[in-house]
Structure 1
């Protein structure tokens, strides 16, 4: 217990808040050198090479009514079916939807499919384009060089005990290593840390030897966080200890062959 106590105290000291939930941020930006592996990869796409790698947060990109439309949709769907563990996902492009300890096709579950309307997809596509343009602007690249890629998904995180590896959302990882197509990652938070749930902060690991404080993003309804997907941005999500955390991961590639289409209503 003594070891655990001092370990936790050290971690509390070695954190810095990049974006607190009680802030209203037009834009906050950090730039730094890309990892060598990311540089090597991104050179294949000249119009997509960032001036520098980094991360940014903005609370002014997405309208509250847009967030409410998507939050209402995903709450309704996850009330119909969800994971037995702590992480439920819905990928509207592929239809992948958590059901107990497996996945089903959302478009083949009549009660779920009936909830997904054209106006939901229109709002989703509008938000995607806003984030795409912001990424292009902040990293100094051509917006035409960015393509939506898979997986792009809604998530619900809770404190339920993990049942499968898909429920273990709290492990440190690099997006480019997990998903080869990723070059730029973004998240839109649909509800707020401390108000709607406890835990669930997004944490960038800044130094593998722990000599540099980790950078914390506290989720807030309507907040967009985006970053280059390479080894310069390892991260994890804290375990949720109470409540329900809703977010959308929207991912972009520079490889046109890895692009996916904008969302449309799928017919059986």
Structure 2
């Protein structure tokens, strides 16, 4: 079983006219947004929220969550703002990838399937002007967490010691930070944060980065777009009651209260290594 933030069918939000099968309004011609301005879902042991934020005209983030047997899976994608139809890229990627993951496939296979589907969105357009997005996926199964990514959406392990980032941004700034270089001291230009990898018809070839963690203590695996992590104080909002659904709502509210400058997506998977306590919980 899986759920996603993909927009539901219905009339055009701009004029109320029916939307055709091609995704465009029969009245005003506006394309239906692929994603929802706000969505939240939870399944046993996994929860997610996405929100348009306060300054963007549409939500170009997307998520999908799924549960199959003892496997819990999450996919978060962030549309590249400089690319056309990036909401369609993100939504297409999460839906394609979650289908592979709940079907028993691995993250590399899910990435390849998502990448192929997003590349097709370019149609006959020049690849340089193609829909594009980041990719972040996680599978929790058999006492371990596996995370795969391309781009700058991030995964964190949260426990009593705090928040530990499990991913490295695909950008010059991200690579320097991972190497222990004080990027701020180098006075890098804004281009240092530009993505060096992404999904799209013009994307560099290669499989996603992968990392596996087998925690010895209980904690939470958190996946997010940079609409949350752009605010360094986001970890202050981690503590609270209510389990995974409350956590993702609390972090989304924090990002909005901090300015909501970008689309926000947050997903959480609680983890407990003790077999007697290992059943997925909301």
Give the shorter-chain TM-score range: under 0.3
What is the TM-score of this pair, normalised by structure 2? 0.27
Bigger relative CO (Cα 8 Å, ≥ 6 apart) = 1
